[in-house]
Amino acid sequence: MILDLKLTGGRFVTLDPDRPSASSVGVWGGRIVALDTDLPARRVVDLGGATVLPGFIDAHTHLAWAGRASRVPDVSRCRTVAEVLEVLRAAPRGTWLEAAGYDHRVLDRPLTARDLDSVGSRVYVQDVSGHACVVSSDVLGLLGVPSSDGFLAESAQTAVRALILPYPVADIASDVRLGAEQCLREGVVLAAEAGVGAGLIGSSPIEVAAYQREPLPIRVQLMVSAMELREVGAHPADGVRRALPLGIRTGLGSDWLSIGALKLWTDGGMIARTAALTQPYTVGGVGQWQDDPAVMRAALLDGHAAGWQLAVHAIGDRAIDFALDVVEEAQRLVPRPGARHRIEHCGLVRPDQLDRIASLGLIPVVQPAFLWAYGDDYAEIMGPERAPWLYRGRSFLERGIVVAGSSDRPVADGNPLRGIRFMVERRSRTGLAVGSGEAVSVTEALAAYTRGAAHACGVEGVLGSITPGKLADFAVLDGDPREVSVERISEIAVLATVVGGEFRHDPAGFAD
C-alpha cells in the first residue's frame, strides 16, 4: 500500500487512551490508516515539531449568524449610545438597517427606539445574546406595540425577524462560508449549526439549500428546529405522530453535511435575563419560557418518538428541570437507551440536578467562553450561592457525564482554545474566579472539544481522536496546551487545519 500522505515530525496528541501519542500518521483516502508507520507515501509533510490534535469540534455554533454578524455593522465595541448611533449612521442600508453586537451592559444607558428613529426607519439592532433586539418606532408600529421602548426579547424578537425574513439563499450561503472559514482558522473541522428552520435564528424556509450550494471547507451538522415537525400520517405501528417530511431525522447525510439533533429552545439567556430560573436574578425577574410549556413538551415527546436526538436549549435551572422531566417522560413512553439527548448550554445546574443529568444519559453542551467573556456579570446576577453552579465541568465528569465543548459563536468567542483555557482556569477576562471547584485538567478540556463533542454529534466513530480508521482531520498547533502555562493556552496559534487529509488552512505553508 502507498499512502496518500504521511505527516511526520509532529507531536501527535491522539486523545485515544489506547495509543496516546505518535510522531507520524499515515493517511489514505481521507482517513487515518496507521500511526508511526514505515509505509511509503506519495507525499510526506514534515510538521517541524508542531503539536497535532484531533481537529476540534464545535458542538453548538451558528455559522450563518456568525457570518452575517461579521459583515453587518457591529456595535459591540461602542461604549455609549452616541457611538452606536454614529456607527449606524455610517452604515449602508437596504430596506432594513441591520446591526449586530448590541450589549446594554457595556453602554452608558440602554438604547431605545427613539434613539434609532434619529438614524432612519426599519432599524434592527440585534442583541449579542441572539435573544433580543432593539428596533425603531416604525417597526414597533408594524408589530402593534408602539408603547414599547424598543427592546424586544424572545417571541417579540421572533416577530420582528418574521418581518425581515427570509434572506435569499445566496446570502445565507455566503454567510455560512464566512462562518466556516472562521472555524477553519481556529482548527475546527466540524461545526454543529444550532438550529435551522423556524425559531429564533432561522433565515429562510429553504435554508438547508444554502449548505448544499457548494462544498464547504469544514464538515457541518445541522440541528433542525422542532417547530419544523409536521403531522405525517405514518402507520400507527410506527408510533410517530409528528416528524419532518419524509421522516428525515438525525443521522441522515454524509461525513461532510448531515442532519443532527432536533433543536428546541425552552428559555432565553443570561445576557437578556430571560434564562428561566427557580429563584429570581439578583436584579429581579425569573426569566421566561420560549413558548407554552405544553407545546414545548409535546414537541420534545413527538421528536423523541420519531427517532430524533433532542437538543434542548436550557440555560436556567428551571428550564433544566423542564428538560429533565420531559426527557424522563419521553424515555418512559418510548425507551431509547441510545438516544443521546443533549442539553444545550446547561448553564445553571443546581446540585440536585447533577445526578438526574447523569442517570438520563444527557450530554451538557457547554460554552465555557461565556464565563470568560461575561463571568463578572453572570456571577453578579446569580449571587454568591449560585455563581459556582454556572457552566460546570468537574461535577459532570465526576458523575461520568460526557461534556461537549462548544462556542455558540457569535454570542461568544469561537476559538476552542479560549474555551479550553477557561475550563482549566475558571477565570473571567477580568480575572474573577467563577466556580473554581469546577476546573478540569487540560486533557479533559481538550477531550470536551474533541471526543466529547464527537459523542454529542454522534460522530465518535469517525472523529474526536487520532485513531486508524477515523477521518484525517487535525489541528496543527504551535504549542502543546498541556505544557504551556494556563494563560498561554488561548494564545497558541493554529498553524494548520487538515480536513480529510487536505491542508485547508495552511498559513505556515506546510503543504507547499
Q: Under the rule (CB under 5 A), what is the footprint of Zn ion?
A: 194, 408
Report the nearest approach of Zn ion to the CB of residue 260 (Å).
13
Q: Shortest approach of Zn ion to residue 86 CB, angstroms?
A: 29
Helix H, strand E, coil C: the string for 385-410 is: CCHHHECCCHHHHHCCCCCEECCCCC
Q: Which is nearer to Zn ion, 395 or 407 (CB)?
A: 407
Q: Residue 312 CB, nearest distance to Zn ion (Å)?
A: 12
Residue 408 or residue 444: which is nearer to Zn ion going by CB? 408
- The answer to whether 193 and 220 have CB atoms below 8 angstroms apart is yes
Tell me the Cα Rg of the chain. Answer: 23
Q: Rounded to the nearest whole angstrom, what is the least distance from the CB of residue 116 to Zn ion in the complex?
A: 25
| Burial environment of residue 37 by CB neighbours within 10 A (0 to 12, 13 to 18, 19 or more) | middle
Question: What's the min distance (Å) between Cβ of 59 and Zn ion?
Answer: 11
Q: Identify whether the C-beta of residue 348 lies closer than 8 Å to the C-beta of residue 386.
A: yes
Q: How far is the CB of 214 from Zn ion (least distance, A)?
A: 25
Cell, residue 417:
482554545
Angle ∠(246,163,224) on CA atoms, nearest 5: 30
CB of 286 to Zn ion, least distance (A): 21
The answer to whether 181 and 69 have CB atoms below 8 angstroms apart is no
CB of 60 to Zn ion, least distance (A): 6
Given the DSSP bridges, would you call strands 230-231 and 242-243 parallel, antiparallel or unpaired?
A: antiparallel
CB of 508 to Zn ion, least distance (A): 32
CB 37 within 8 A of CB 171: no
- 338: closest CA among 295, 304, 369, 289? 304
Nearer of residues 405 and 500 to Zn ion, judged by Cβ = 405
Determine what percent of the chain falls in helix, strand and coil, rounding each to the nearest 5: 35, 25, 45
CB of 449 to Zn ion, least distance (A): 16
Residues 360 and 447: their CA atoms lie apart, in Å, by 21
**Residue 41: what are its φ and ψ, rounded to 5°?**
-140, 145
User: Which of 130/150 has CB closer to Zn ion?
Assistant: 130
- The string over 313-350, giving b where at least 16 C-beta atoms fall within 10 Å of a residue's C-beta and e elsewhere, is bbbbbbbbbbbbebbeebbeeeebeebbbbbbbbbbbe
Backbone phi, psi, residue 22, to 5°: -160, 165
Closer to Zn ion by Cβ: residue 128 or 324: 128
Distance CA 176, CA 208 (A): 11
Q: What is the Cα–Cα distance from 68 to 48, expressed in whole angstroms?
A: 37
Query: By C-beta, is 127 or 408 nearer to Zn ion?
Result: 408
Query: Grid cell 410506527 — which residue?
Result: 238
From CA 397, how far away is CA 329, in angstroms rounded? Answer: 25
**Nearer CB in complex with Zn ion: 269/500:** 269
Cell, residue 152: 424586544
For the purposes of burial, counting CB atoms within 10 Å of the CB of 214, is it exposed (0-12), middle (13-18) or buried (19 or more)? exposed
CB-wise, 193 or 321, nearer to Zn ion?
193
Three-state secondary-structure class, residue 432 = coil
Q: Which three cell numbers stand for residue 119?
A: 438614524
**Angle separating helix axes 317-333 and 351-359, nearest 10 degrees:** 30
Rounded to a whole number of angstroms, the minimum distance from the CB of residue 62 to Zn ion is 6
CB 452 within 8 A of CB 54: no
Residue with smaller CB distance to Zn ion, 186 or 408: 408
> Closer to Zn ion at the Cβ: 98 or 408?
408
* Cβ closest to Zn ion, residue 27 vs residue 194: 194
Burial category of 358 from C-beta neighbours within 10 Å (exposed 0-12, middle 13-18, buried 19 and up) = middle
Which one, 271 or 484, has the nearer CB to Zn ion?
A: 271
Q: Which is nearer to Zn ion, 193 or 302 (CB)?
A: 193
